[in-house]
């Protein structure tokens, strides 16, 4: 089988819908406690693409998660990723006058 704990690099060419997806993938190549060796992650993101928007949303969601875990209230905690993506698409369409 494929032993991901021996890998030192991971390249993401698309994005999952939650920050946890990427954290889990990175954790799998980082190594186990007794053989942790570190890892480097690369995210392939083109300018002005849907991936760039999703990356922005994921970063925002990660900040919200961190605030909630630390016990701070976040005004954006109830918003869905789909809602944020639609809002970004509408803003882009308005700016391009489509």
Cβ-contact 34, 64 below 8 angstroms: no
Global pTM?
0.60
How many Å from the N-terminal Cα to the C-terminal Cα in the chain?
49
**What are 2-47's pLDDT values in tens digits?**
666 677 888 888 888 888 888 888 888 876 666 667 788 899 998 8
Q: How far is it, in rounded angstroms, from Cα 20 to Cα 95? A: 32
Helix (H, G, I), strand (E, B) or coil at 58: helix
pLDDT grade for 60, boundaries at 50, 70 and 90:
confident
């Amino acid at each position: 089988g494929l032993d991901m704990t021996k890998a030192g690099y991971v390249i993401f060419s698309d994005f999952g819908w939650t920050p946890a997806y990427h954290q889990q993938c990175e954790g799998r190549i980082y190594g186990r406690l007794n053989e942790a060796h570190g890892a480097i992650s690369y995210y392939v993101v083109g300018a002005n693409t849907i991936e760039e928007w999703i990356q922005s949303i994921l970063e925002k969601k990660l900040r919200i998660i961190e605030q909630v875990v630390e016990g701070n209230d976040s005004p954006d905690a109830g918003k869905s990723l789909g809602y944020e993506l639609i809002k970004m698409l509408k803003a882009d369409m308005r700016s391009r006058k489509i």
